[in-house]
Amino acid sequence: MWWIDSGYIMFVLPALILTFWAQFNVSSTYAKYGKIYSRRGMTAEQVARMILDKNGLYHVQLGRVRGNLTDHFNPKTNIVNLSDTTCTSTSVAAIGVAAHEVGHAIQHATGYVPIKIRNSIVPVVNIASQAAIPLFIIGLFFNSGLMMDIGIWFFSAAVLFQIITLPVEFNASRRAIAILEGNYILEDEEVRGAKKVLSAAAMTYVAAAAMALAQLLRLLSMRGRRD
């Protein structure tokens, strides 16, 4: 059975538990610090614009997207998109998230190597990740070692992407905290709150990488039993 095997229990289940915990942790941490408002009274959108301008990124625009914690930077359009719950909020949590996304814009503008690598492999990873599991299952069904190996190699590309994402996200958070603190946008205790929010968010990327690696180990385990 595809879903019931020792590899699932040994590798995937612990990663799944970590993923659930990370999602709960980031939601609860954001909710907590989403109720603590910056004394300066600036919205996340205002903070994002100020940081962009201070770094000479006048060409980078600010956009708005629906949802909660759907904030992201689009390097193709040079737009920092802030979610509905972030954009107009003056909370410590929202300001931290906005500064983090601006951190990605700064990475892109300064040629930060990990983000350049990640952006360059996105098209390949999208195709490989979608094809990996179907190819592996076909190989498993027809007892084709070659098809299973191709599926594993394709899935390895997705794992690589998740691993490369980690330094990109950690670096963006470090940049955000340094900017918020160095420019006195947040006070000391507010900076600590923003740091906790970004640390919780970073754990979701760690969990995603752990899940991808666990799935790869499971595929390798299943492949080994077919030799």
Point out the catalytic residue in the list 101, 169, 181, 190.
Answer: 101
- Partners of 64 in the β-ladder: 82
Q: Are 136 and 219 in contact (CB under 8 A)?
A: yes
DSSP category for residue 56: T
Q: What is the DSSP secondary-structure string of 126-173?
A: HHHHHHHHHHHHHHHHTT-HHHHHHHHHHHHHHHHHHHHHHHHHHHHH
Whether 101 sits among the annotated catalytic residues: the reply is: yes
Type of residue at 117: I
- Tokens at 3, concatenated: 């879903």
Task: Map residue 30 onto helix, strand or coil.
Answer: helix
Give the other-Cβ count within 10 Å of 53's Cβ. 11
Type of residue at 105: A
44 phi/psi in degrees, rounded to 5: -60, -35
Q: What is the DSSP secondary-structure string of 76-136?
A: TTTEEEEEHHHHT--BHHHHHHHHHHHHHHHHHHHT-HHHHHHHHHHHHHHHHHHHHHHHH
In which element (H, E) is residue 64 found?
strand 61-65
Residue numbers annotated as active site: 101
